[in-house]
Amino acid sequence: MAKTKIIVPGDALYILMASRGLTEKTLGAAINESPQTIKAIIEGKRELSITHAVKFGTFFKTDIAFWFNVQLGYDESKTKVTKQKTVRKAKKAKQAAKSPTPPKKPRPTRKPKAADKKPKVTRKPRAVKKPAAAPKAESKE
């Protein structure tokens, strides 16, 4: 199946604006639309509405149906891609259900080597210091 290039409505609008040297601000002022709306359409964050299609068609002297078809084609392609992803996920889940994964083998444990063992530290008993003898008092005789 040959892949067809998806025409995003924002790309079509950007191309027409660039060919005429327009900015979002100048186009927005000309068609009585905010520059933020124009920018959102170009970036693909907002869809074309009927009002937008009429305004763009009138301003750029294009058929209004062109703008509808671009938006419709974009929506259909997004739906196809979403559907294909869903089908792929379903196939993977079905395949995974058919062939269960074998139980995991326990990891072999490594036997400790003599070098790994810590030597036992034996403590020598502390030498107990005898308390110093109290000085003897001299006796006077």
Within a domain: 93: yes
Q: What percentage of the chain has pLDDT greater than the value 70? A: 73
pLDDT of residue 95: 76
Within a domain: 105: no
Within a domain: 118: no
CATH number of the domain within which 49 lies: 1.10.260.40
Q: Residues 26-83: pLDDT tens digits?
A: 999 999 999 999 999 999 899 999 999 999 999 999 999 999 999 998 888 888 888 8
Q: How far apart are CA 41 and CA 15, in angstroms?
A: 13
Within a domain: 27: yes
Q: How far apart are CA 76 and CA 6, in angstroms?
A: 10
Within a domain: 108: no
Within a domain: 135: no
φ, ψ of residue 132 to 5 degrees: the values are -65, 140
Domains contained in the chain, number: 1
Q: Over the chain, what is the mean pLDDT?
A: 82
Within a domain: 81: yes
Q: Rounded to two decimals, what is the model's pTM?
A: 0.56
